[in-house]
């Protein structure tokens, strides 16, 4: 080990490195700390884990270490609240994607509903992300084969994409994430690829690895690390790519027991942890 090309004197330095699965949080069930079809996941300002506990019709919050904190339930709607994804704004406001009522539910961290929007446009929403550039809310509409864009106050701005296999077209889409430069990464589920757009909704490029450990058959969740690396949940694995689309590695192993992972989020640790 050197500093400024000069060897460090003294005894060897031992650096502990954690690689692979660190821990598992929760179990199957409906009690506190249990989950029934956990879909989307996000990290709030307190570094707590907020999970769309879809099968239990609720959001569930735990600490980063997995200690149960609280449950948020919404019962004011015509149909049962069914969260499939969640995004959290810079002011810690929660944007829950409720596909049963085809809407975005905006609430504070205690579960007080502020507003709802999207009912007039959304057909089958699956994924949600907030742009760090302008704060706009991006919703993937699986049934509409497009990405819909709203302000945080719920004003519908525009959509982009259509059904198909060409550039800028989708065949069922899932997760979405936006980089700090406004690049939009979309999991194009049935086309088995990630499509990338600029801040003006213009198609840039796609990436799909179709062999080896990086084989991406049905991408679902997607997260980005420092605009450099993209993490994708696909099939029964978690894949890591450079933001350019070059496959880096599979970060899980068969022994981890992943079964159709969906939501994914990154902590701000160095190195980051993948949830």
**Do the beta carbons of residue 138 and residue 149 sit within 8 Å?**
yes
Give the global pTM.
0.91
pLDDT at 19: 60
Report how far apart, in Å, the C-alpha atoms of 50 and of each of 1, 23, 78, 169 are: 40, 17, 24, 31
pLDDT at 10: 64
Domain-by-domain residue ranges, the chain? 37-220
Q: How far is CA 230 from the centre of its chain?
A: 11
DSSP letter at 270?
S
pLDDT at 113: 97
**How far is the C-alpha of 87 from the C-alpha of 96, rounded, in Å?**
7
pLDDT at 15: 46
pLDDT at 5: 56
**Do the beta carbons of residue 162 and residue 148 sit within 8 Å?**
no
**How far is the C-alpha of 210 from the C-alpha of 216, rounded, in Å?**
6
Tell which residue, 109, 162, 154, has the closest CA to residue 128: 154
Residue 89 sits at the vertex; the CA angle it makes with 113 and 163, to the nearest 5 degrees, is 90
Per-residue exposure over 165-193, b if at least 16 CB sit within 10 Å of its own CB, e if not = eeebbbebbbbbbbbeeebbbbbbbbbbb
The CATH superfamily assigned to 37-220 is: TolB, C-terminal domain (2.120.10.30)
pLDDT in tens, 130-160: 999 999 999 999 999 999 999 999 999 999 9
**How far is the C-alpha of 275 from the C-alpha of 272, rounded, in Å?**
10
**Do the beta carbons of residue 182 and residue 198 sit within 8 Å?**
yes
Give the chain's residues under pLDDT 70.
1-19
């Amino acid at each position: 080990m050197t500093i400024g090309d000069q060897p460090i004197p003294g005894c060897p330095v031992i650096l502990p490195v954690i690689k692979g699965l660190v821990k598992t949080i929760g179990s199957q069930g409906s009690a506190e700390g249990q989950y029934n079809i956990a879909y989307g996941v996000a990290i709030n300002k307190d570094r707590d884990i907020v999970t769309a506990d879809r099968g239990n019709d609720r959001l569930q919050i735990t600490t980063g270490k997995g200690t149960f904190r609280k449950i948020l339930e919404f019962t004011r709607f015509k149909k049962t609240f069914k969260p499939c994804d969640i995004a959290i704004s810079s002011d810690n406001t929660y944007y829950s994607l409720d596909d049963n009522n085809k809407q975005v539910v905006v609430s504070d961290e205690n579960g007080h509903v502020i507003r709802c929007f999207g009912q007039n446009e959304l057909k089958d929403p699956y994924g949600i992300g907030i742009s760090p550039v302008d704060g706009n809310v991006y919703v993937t509409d699986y049934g509409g084969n497009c990405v819909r864009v709203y302000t945080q106050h719920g004003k519908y701005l525009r959509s982009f994409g259509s059904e198909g296999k060409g550039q800028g077209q989708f065949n069922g889409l899932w997760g979405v994430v936006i980089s700090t430069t406004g690049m939009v990464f979309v999991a194009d589920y049935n086309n088995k690829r990630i499509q990338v757009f600029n801040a003006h909704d213009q198609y840039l490029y796609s990436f799909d690895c179709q062999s080896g450990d990086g084989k991406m058959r049905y991408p679902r969740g997607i997260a980005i690390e420092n605009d450099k690396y993209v993490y994708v949940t696909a099939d029964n694995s978690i894949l890591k790519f450079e933001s350019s689309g070059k496959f880096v590695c599979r970060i899980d192993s068969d022994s981890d027991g992943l079964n159709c992972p969906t939501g994914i989020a990154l902590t701000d640790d160095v190195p980051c942890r993948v949830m």
